[in-house]
């Protein structure tokens, strides 16, 4: 591990000031991803700016009837918060499908958004990887790519974003509040993470001198008809091969509003508005769900070891939408350990 300096941010303005004046600095929150990356020599920060003492842990109601979640709220606090459990159970369910109880206790909301891909080659510094070292090549395209993307890929990178929580946040149309040297701004969740294109080293649109301060949830949490279904190689402690967040609003036996987002298939949580539009006005049955799945996967492209994901995703979409329509959401098999 590389030597690095350590400092603690006194407040958000100080955090921004510190990161803006040191290009080699990184914020550290729960450390559950960053410290691993440092041990693997993938990240070599010159300075760690500890943000854990900033007052960004609150989960509070907003004037418009939504919720504001501080960037340092631990994943477990968020998943088990009464307002989240009752009004945004899709978010709670997605968080509980991820990692382990101990990790969720440490992991922060902001850090979850900014966690990096789990592509094997990204972690293996002996191999070429455009995300880690721009221009070096992509080892996954012709390598072991079982866990890699099938949608939105580029010739430069076929990595996926590994978060479960972010899939639910995409479906719920959350917003990301950030602060930087010129003040605060809000980024729509859909615009936060990026596709790889020819700059796969950039995971998201957060500037290097900005900090995530909060996530804003709109009033509609789709609490009556939702489901988060995650398919993985092991039942716990594994990242998604394919996951689906589905949320429906039903009215008079038809779909009034639909949200559909996928994890484990692309460089960002994958939301397809054409599929959502096709569901609106339909009777919530298998034919409508299969049509939506077809639209989501229209441009899907499999590689040597992950082509199976296309049919898997199709089936998971249909099943998750069926669970949502029937109000029988997927139960996450975790115990409450805090
Ligand atoms: C074994 C294992 C299994 C896991 N399984 C899953 C899983 O199944 N599903 C899942 O979703 N996740 C999983 N995770 C990932 C885990 O959820 C993330 O590591 C965690 O959410 C990161 O949060 P953190 O606070 O620890 O971030 P850190 O490690 O502290 O930081 C991660 C990155 O975010 C940046 N950062 C942190 N906070 C901010 C902020 N407020 N503003 C700007 N930048 C910030 C840091 O600079 C760093 O680059 C797993 C992790 C491990 C180790
Ligand atoms: S898929 Fe992306 S992260 Fe994985 S080896 Fe290729 S460039 Fe690196």
pLDDT 10s digits, 145-180: 999 999 999 999 999 999 999 999 999 999 999 999
Is residue 62's pLDDT more than 80? yes
pLDDT in tens, 184-236: 999 999 999 999 999 999 999 999 999 999 999 999 999 999 999 999 999 87
* 338 has pLDDT over 70: no
Ligand 2 centre to CA of 80 (Å) is 34
Given ligand 1 and candidates 114, 165, 231, which is best to mutate, with the most ligand atoms within 8 Å of its CB?
114
**pLDDT single digits (tens) 17-31:** 999 999 999 999 999
101-116: average pLDDT: 97
Q: Where are the beta strands (DSSP E) in the chain?
A: 5-8, 25-28, 47-50, 59-61, 67-70, 175-180, 183-188, 211-217, 226-231, 242-251, 254-263, 270-271
- 32 alpha carbon – ligand 1 mean position (Å): 5
Which residue has a Cα nearest atom 8 of ligand 2?
129
The answer to whether 222 and 172 have CB atoms below 8 angstroms apart is yes
pLDDT for the residue numbered 235: 83
pTM metric for this prediction: 0.98
**Cβ(153)–Cβ(117) below 8 Å:** no
- In this predicted structure, what is the pLDDT of residue 333? 73
pLDDT in tens, 308-318: 999 999 999 99
Mean predicted lDDT score pLDDT of the chain: 97
The mean pLDDT of 42-57, rounded to a whole number, is 98
Rounded distance from Cα 6 to ligand 1 centre (Å) = 19
Q: Which residue has the higher pLDDT, 334 or 182?
A: 182
What residues contact 195, with CB distance under 8 A and at least 6 apart? 152, 154, 266, 267, 268
Which secondary-structure segment (H or E) carries 18?
Answer: helix 12-21
């Amino acid at each position: 591990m590389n030597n690095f300096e350590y400092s603690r941010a006194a407040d958000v303005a100080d955090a921004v000031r510190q990161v803006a004046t040191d290009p080699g600095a990184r914020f550290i929150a729960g450390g559950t991803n960053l410290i691993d990356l440092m041990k693997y020599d993938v990240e070599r920060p010159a300075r760690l700016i500890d943000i854990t003492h900033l007052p960004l842990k609150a989960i509070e109601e907003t004037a418009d009837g939504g919720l504001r979640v501080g960037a340092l709220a631990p994943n477990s606090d968020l998943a088990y918060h009464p307002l989240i459990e009752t009004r945004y159970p899709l978010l709670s369910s997605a968080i509980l499908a991820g990692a382990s109880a101990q990790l969720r206790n440490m992991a922060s909301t902001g850090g979850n958004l900014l966690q990096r891909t789990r592509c094997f080659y990204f972690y293996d510094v002996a191999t070429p990887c455009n995300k880690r070292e721009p221009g070096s090549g992509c080892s996954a395209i012709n390598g072991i790519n079982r866990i890699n993307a099938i949608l939105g890929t580029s010739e430069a990178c076929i990595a996926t974003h590994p978060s479960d929580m972010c899939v639910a946040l995409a479906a719920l149309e959350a917003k990301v509040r950030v602060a930087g040297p010129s003040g605060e701004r809000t980024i729509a969740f859909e615009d936060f993470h990026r596709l790889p294109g020819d700059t796969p080293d950039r995971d998201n649109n957060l500037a290097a001198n900005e900090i995530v301060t909060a996530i804003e949830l709109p009033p509609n949490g789709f609490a009556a008809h939702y489901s988060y279904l995650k398919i993985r190689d092991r039942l716990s402690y594994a990242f998604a091969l394919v996951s689906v967040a589905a949320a429906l609003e039903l009215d008079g036996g038809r779909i009034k509003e639909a949200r559909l987002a996928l994890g484990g298939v692309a460089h960002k949580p994958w939301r397809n508005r054409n599929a959502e539009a096709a569901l609106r006005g339909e009777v919530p049955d298998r034919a409508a769900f299969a049509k939506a799945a077809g639209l989501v996967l229209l441009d899907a492209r499999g590689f040597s070891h992950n082509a199976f994901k296309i049919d898997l995703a199709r089936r998971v979409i249909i099943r998750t939408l069926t669970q949502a329509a029937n109000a029988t959401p997927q139960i996450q098999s975790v115990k409450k350990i805090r």
